[in-house]
Amino acid sequence: MNAAYPKRSLDVEKIRGDFPILKLQVNGKPLVYLDNAASSQMPQAVIDRIVRYQSEEHSNIHRAVHYLSELATKEFEEARVKVQKFINAKESREVIFTRGTTEAINLVMHGYGRAFIGRGDEIIISGLEHHANIVPWQMLAEEKGAVLRVIPMNDAGELLIDEFEALFNAKTKFLALTHVSNALGTINPVKQMVAFAHKHGVPVLLDGAQAAPHQVLDVQELDCDFYAFSGHKMCGPTGIGVLYGKAQMLEKMQPYQGGGDMILSVTFEKTTYNVIPAKFEAGTPPIMAAIALGAAIDYLQSIGMANIEAYEHELLAYATEQVSSMPGVRVIGTAKHKAAVMSFEIKGVHPHDVGTILNSEGIAIRTGHHCAQPVMQRFHVPATARASFAFYNTKSEIDKLVVGIRKVQEMFS
């Protein structure tokens, strides 16, 4: 495990001081930022790292012998090693930099799915997936004549494990599953589900967009074949994400895009491909963003992922208790194991109006279908209001959310 950080409670006021944006006033009120599942905020250390890179280190990488190119290459590859250690991958070549979770999943669909999934084969996904882990598999199924099978859930938003197991048969070729649901916060029992899939010889991709920012990760312990996540949800910049893949899987896959670093040699007759990870990093990669993601990982680890997880769990429990005891408010997604996401609806008020009124109080939440329309359909709602927490949020911010919800109810009563 890579959780070797001392267990301690967080000094949240000190941590908040690291985030310049948290000092903002919005509509004359102090910003209460509860939209972390969409994108988290950036600490000064990461902002400073971006400025230093752009002011003193920037160049293209892997292409020249001059000082700046060698420096940028070294920093970029060191960022890869930071990611490797953060997720406890066996080797740094198992870490592919992508633009985000969406691109990482699409890479697997193209590189693995198009090569190894054919007519009549079955791909299992779950009813909890974000569109990024539905649509690519649907596109593949359409192209190949394969079939999408969906794991159902109960009214709490927990996957039905018996039904999951019953989906497997000789035609099952792939499992693509979210680690944590972005719409409901459910944490899936992924280790157990990966083990079951492997018993049937089925490889597994885990969508870790909502897990990587909130908990200790160990891809070797999970034993997943692929793991995807985004930098901008874990204090890094947009435009950078990670695909972890077991080396033996990545090696047998087809490249996703052609050009730049992914070649070994090119003639008009034939191109030979580079080894991993370069094989999947065509063109100039997001160098600055990768280095900034490395700085974000340093920052998160200085706090400790286990400490972050414990603190956010406390926040979620507090928020759930406060909000679910309010008359006329329903929390949607009541799984036993949840991460820092709370979806809710206020009786008689459209979530969009909830978001607008809370915004007038300086409170940022997300409203809508959260790019998870099948989850909305399962709960028979067009949309939800969603508060999502980070380790820099406080119980007093949750109190402000509760006051805001009361204000919404008063305005609509």
Q: Catalogue the active-site residues.
A: 371
Asked if 173 interacts with ligand C6P (CB under 6 A), we say no
User: For residues 10 and 19, is the Cβ–Cβ distance under 8 A?
Assistant: no
Place of tokens 């490249």: 255
How far apart are alpha carbons 285 and 177 in whole angstroms?
27
Binding mask 347-386 for ligand C6P (x = CB under 6 A): -------------------x---xx---------------
Give min distance, CB of 112 to ligand C6P, in A.
18
Please list every residue from 273 through 292 that binds ligand C6P, using CB under 6 A.
Answer: none
Strands (DSSP E) found in 158-233: 172-178, 204-207, 226-230
3-state SS string for 288-340: HHHHHHHHHHHHHHHHCHHHHHHHHHHHHHHHHHHHHCCCCEEEECCCCCECC
Give min distance, CB of 204 to ligand C6P, in A.
15
In terms of Cβ atoms closer than 10 Å to its own Cβ (0-12, 13-18, 19+), residue 11 is: exposed
How far apart are alpha carbons 310 and 216 in whole angstroms?
11
Asked if 338 interacts with ligand C6P (CB under 6 A), we say no
Asked if 102 interacts with ligand C6P (CB under 6 A), we say yes
Place of tokens 């206020």: 346
Asked if 409 interacts with ligand C6P (CB under 6 A), we say no
Please list every residue from 230 through 259 that binds ligand C6P, using CB under 6 A.
Answer: 230
How far apart are alpha carbons 193 and 175 in whole angstroms?
9
Count of residues binding ligand C6P (CB under 6 A)?
Answer: 17
Binding mask 129-158 for ligand C6P (x = CB under 6 A): -x-xx-------------------------
Asked if 37 interacts with ligand C6P (CB under 6 A), we say yes
Give min distance, CB of 387 to ligand C6P, in A.
12
Binding mask 47-86 for ligand C6P (x = CB under 6 A): ----------------------------------------
Give min distance, CB of 125 to ligand C6P, in A.
12
First vs last Cα of the chain: how many Å apart?
52
How far apart are alpha carbons 297 and 174 in whole angstroms?
30
Residues forming the site for ligand C6P (CB under 6 A): 37-38, 100-102, 130, 132-133, 178, 182, 207, 209-210, 230, 366, 370-371
